[in-house]
């Protein structure tokens, strides 16, 4: 099942730089692993914001919820999720 997910990161200004840097490094490593495994299909930065737009391919809502909660930056994110399905006029048969 495909999901369009927008994530906006809001780290506290009071967070020490070394703690923020460590969280960002952990987040990057996990995001890259999930992309390589295929569950995080697309990842785009939103220009001018500390935010991204992503497409996830996971079996369902519970799996997406668990994946998002596993992200190191999850406690500092505002997340919006939209379930997707294939449009009947799409010529991309592989996007199910």
pLDDT in tens, 83-96: 998 888 888 876 66
Tens-place pLDDT, residues 4-39:
999 999 999 999 999 999 999 999 999 999 999 999
> Does a structural domain hold residue 95?
no
Q: Which helix (H) or strand (E) holds 54?
A: strand 51-57
Q: What is the CATH number of the domain that holds 78?
A: 3.30.70.1060
Structure token pair of residue 36: 């390589």
Nearest to 54 by CA among 81, 89, 15: 81
> Does a structural domain hold residue 27?
yes
> Does a structural domain hold residue 91?
no
**Beta strand 2-9 with 51-57: parallel, antiparallel or unpaired?**
antiparallel
> Does a structural domain hold residue 12?
yes
> Does a structural domain hold residue 77?
yes
Q: Which domain holds residue 69?
A: 2-84
Q: pTM of the full predicted structure?
A: 0.91
> Does a structural domain hold residue 93?
no
> Does a structural domain hold residue 94?
no
> Does a structural domain hold residue 89?
no
Count: domains in the chain: 1
- Number of residues in the chain: 96
CB 50 within 8 A of CB 9: yes
């Amino acid at each position: 099942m495909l999901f369009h997910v927008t994530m906006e990161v809001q780290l506290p200004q009071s967070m020490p730089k070394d703690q923020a840097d460590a969280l960002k490094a952990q987040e990057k490593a996990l995001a890259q692993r999930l992309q390589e495994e295929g569950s995080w299909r697309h990842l785009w930065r939103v220009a001018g914001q500390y935010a991204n737009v992503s497409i996830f391919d996971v079996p369902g809502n519970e799996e997406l919820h668990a994946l998002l909660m596993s992200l190191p930056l999850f406690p500092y994110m505002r997340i919006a999720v939209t379930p997707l399905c294939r449009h009947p006029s799409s010529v991309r048969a592989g996007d199910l």
